[in-house]
């Protein structure tokens, strides 16, 4: 239960919105999308934005078969605002292409692998966890020092009592 809550918090903390192709490209016919995705890790909760001129392109989400064949016939969904935000809600692979004739064949298609948070060795969850751990350790140290001072005072007081007593 606690672990599940931690995983959810980690996923929420890591949520990122990626503009497809940016910063060197966008949703166009020049960008190498295989290269672009290879440099990034997508987690559930992340979003991708397709930014393009709606007169020149569109975005069609397809199955693997549609992706491989550059066919939008049996599409999952289609977007054409020029600023389309797609939520990557669950682990799995998502496929998108431009439905305009010839564009997908020219390379205007993208495959996004969405992996569960924590699958990446560079999990951002590690940072808040260790920060929390060190702040807890800090509190523990302060408490220990405080107790030591109290003990020292008690001992000094006791000694004085012993010294004072015979007089």
Ligand X SMILES: *[C@@H]1O[C@H](CO)[C@@H](O)[C@H](O)[C@H]1NC(C)=O
Question: Residue 68: left if φ>0, alpha if ψ -120 to 50, beta else—which one?
Answer: alpha
Query: Would you say 60 or 88 has its CB closer to ligand X?
Result: 60
Which residues lie near ligand X (CB under 6 A)? 60, 72, 75, 78, 99
Cβ 57 to ligand X, closest distance in Å?
Answer: 11
Cβ 122 to ligand X, closest distance in Å?
Answer: 36
Query: Would you say 59 or 112 has its CB closer to ligand X?
Result: 59
Cβ 8 to ligand X, closest distance in Å?
Answer: 34
Q: Following CA atoms 63, 65, 67, 70 in sequence, which dihedral angle do they give, to the nearest 10 degrees?
A: -130
Query: Would you say 81 or 135 has its CB closer to ligand X?
Result: 81
Query: Would you say 46 or 61 has its CB closer to ligand X?
Result: 61
SS3 state of residue 119: coil
Greatest alpha-carbon span in the chain: 107
Nearest C-alpha neighbor of 101 from the set 41, 38, 48, 29: 29
Cβ 75 to ligand X, closest distance in Å?
Answer: 4
């Amino acid at each position: 239960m606690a672990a599940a809550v931690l995983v959810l918090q980690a996923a929420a903390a890591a949520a990122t919105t990626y503009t497809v192709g940016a910063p060197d490209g966008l949703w166009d016919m020049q960008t190498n999308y295989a290269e672009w995705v290879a440099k990034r890790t997508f987690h559930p909760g992340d979003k991708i934005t397709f930014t393009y001129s709606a007169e020149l392109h569109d975005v069609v989400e397809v199955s693997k078969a549609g992706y491989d064949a550059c066919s939008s016939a049996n599409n999952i969904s289609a977007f054409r605002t020029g600023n389309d935000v797609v939520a990557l809600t669950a682990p799995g692979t998502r496929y998108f292409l431009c439905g305009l004739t010839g564009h997908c064949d020219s390379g205007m298609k993208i495959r996004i692998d969405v992996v569960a948070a924590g699958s990446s060795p560079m999990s951002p969850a590690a940072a808040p966890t260790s920060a929390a751990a060190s702040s807890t350790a800090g509190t523990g140290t302060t408490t220990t020092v405080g107790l030591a001072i109290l003990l020292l005072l008690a001992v000094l007081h006791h000694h004085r009592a012993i010294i004072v007593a015979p007089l």
